[in-house]
Amino acid sequence: MFRKTAASGFLARPNSPGPAKTPAGYSRSPQNSQPRRVDSIRFARPRTTATGRRFVQTKSASAKSQSIQFKMVPPATAKSSETKQRASTVYSKENLRITPLGGNEEVGRNMTVFEYAGDIIVLDMGIQFPEEDMPGIDYIVPNISYLNGKEKNIRGVILSHGHLDHIGAAPILLNKLGNPPIVGRDMTLAMVKKKMEDFEKGSARTLKTIRVNSVSDKITLGNFKIEFFEVEHSIMDAIGVIIKTPQGTVIHPGDWTMEKDAAGKSLVTYTHLAKLPSPRILMLESLGAIVTKPSRTTEKEMYYNLDKLISEATGKIIIGTFSSQIKRIGHILEYAEKIGKKLALDGYSMKMNVEIAKELGYIKMHKETLIPVSDIHKYPPDRIVIICTGAQGEGNAVLSRIVNDEHRHIKIQKKDTIIFSSSVIPGNERTIQRLKDNLYRKCDNVIHSDILDVHTSGHCSAQDIQDILRQIRPDFFLPVYANYYMLKEAEKLALKIGFKKENIFVLDNGSQLEFKNNKAVLLPKKVDTSYVMVDGLGVGDIGQVVLRDRQVLSEDGMFVITVIIDSKTKKIIGKPQVTSRGFIFVKENFDLVNATKKKVEEVVAKKTSADQAINWDYVKNNIRDAVGSFLYQKTQRRPMVLPVVIEV
């Protein structure tokens, strides 16, 4: 798939290390042979009563927890037979059902469930990075509550490539789903194993894998026949997936672009996929639906610009990029070695990914070329190239620590060159601009895509989407893996070239689409795809109430009032104590603090009596309300008010 040339720096795919072991209960078909059926565990029957009523699982959600209960509903009734129609949620094993659990309303959290004849397979298992209004959240994983109780029917998890928005949730979710086998190519499987070990030491030993040696491989997962096709993306070992069932053939390239070679002249073509059995269902990553430029930077142009900057630099070169851009990092490594420069990597994920690529033979270099970042002072600055993480302005990432003078070994000098070889992830614009401002104060040579083409996307363009639609000629088109507005733009692109609107489905997360007899049926109810947030070691234990508290704390701070009450007289002992964090500086606001204490004394005196039992929760709520209103009246701010009542 990758041929190395002097001009392109592409990396040749190493010789296949041999056949992979296949887990029991699964089969791999030889090249050019028909896959054979292996097992058939029947889908559990819906629970019914003697009257034909069905038990349906529902959820009752409170602010911090969710309870699951069952209710009885009457049998489903038939609906109209139009091509694009609504139907009941009663599942027929004869239908092919597609359920996106993530990736259809955001960039990331990609995960899609396919069901047919009692069997289930999953495509991708990615994370989504938190939004600005999610303080403290590390990342978000797909909600798999829909698969609860169906774990025994999951035949496998297919991973299209090794980017975190496609594999990042695997260490968390695989165990919850009963450790089904994962299907992928070498780089993808190696990255999943490493991620699992990072999440829980020893967990990779339980991992069952089915290795895809080449795109000509065919495998069978229960009632699904799986084939693959070549795609081009910004990481090695990306593959497109074909899912064959009697009710439809799903074609899913994962992330993709039309460009193949570094010059952008030899394009990947998909015309052979038009020969697949109908109905052909194209699920197409559509991030590039809004990219309408008539031309874009080719890899050849990008590599030429990077090489020129590296060779002409008079100081250190510091390149910020994504740790998953392994092909680009490999090219820079090889070019640095060619011109006699030393290269250092910084950032845990950067080092890990390069080490995996070296072990698999995708990056070839003399070990003397790569040096520890702690040794860069041993060489002249103009012989040093540093590749690091943090081009998105992440606070604790390497590039931010460098610009804030918090890095132990890397200090920026005026004659150094800083290169942003990455795109701007939506939502990160402000932090990246702040990072650039600080870099410009320290360095005279800051290069980014607005100045010079030092980055190219591994994703499609609007023209690519129309080209692939013309080549494959699908019967149904499902744009996926992007924000909703991008999916709608992809729909417009298809309509412009003659596709019928009734054969295009822009699904939400949790929507369920069934195929039978060349018809697509959109079910009326969605499954739960609410956020499952990961914070440290906690998975799913942070809900909207906790997030709202964090937002309040981050905006207006916290105001704690401690009151000690005499248990006999029910009077305050001493004065209420006030602690403020992020709201006011107590020593500089005596008048406000004293007025607040007086307000607390008034509430306690009014709501307590020596000859009556006291409901202290009621008293605390009254203190909270009174103090909150008083502070807002005086400051127009709403801190989190926490009353603490101690009875002695």
**What is the distance between the alpha carbons of residues 247 and 241, in angstroms, rounded to a whole number?**
17
Smallest Cα–Cα separation from 635: which of 562, 542, 553, 557? 557
pLDDT category of residue 233 using cuts at 50, 70 and 90: confident
Q: Which amino acid type is present at position 206? A: T
Q: Give DSSP secondary structure letters for 349-360.
A: HHHHHHHHHHHH
pLDDT band for position 608 (cuts 50, 70, 90)? confident
Strand pairing report for 342-346 and 384-388: parallel
DSSP-derived secondary structure letter, 405: T
Element (H, E) at 386: strand 384-388
Q: What is the dihedral of CA 115, 121, 127, 132, to 10 degrees?
A: 0
Q: Which domains does the chain have, with CATH numbers?
A: 27-57+65-292+458-539 (3.60.15.10), 299-447 (3.40.50.10710), 557-647 (3.10.20.580)
pLDDT at residue 112, rounded to an integer: 98
Q: Residue 642 — pLDDT band, cuts 50, 70, 90?
A: very high
Token pair for residue 106? Answer: 């955001």
Residues 284-331: tens digit of each pLDDT: 999 889 887 766 677 788 888 999 999 999 999 999 998 888 889 999
Residue 185 predicted with pLDDT over 50: yes
pTM: 0.76
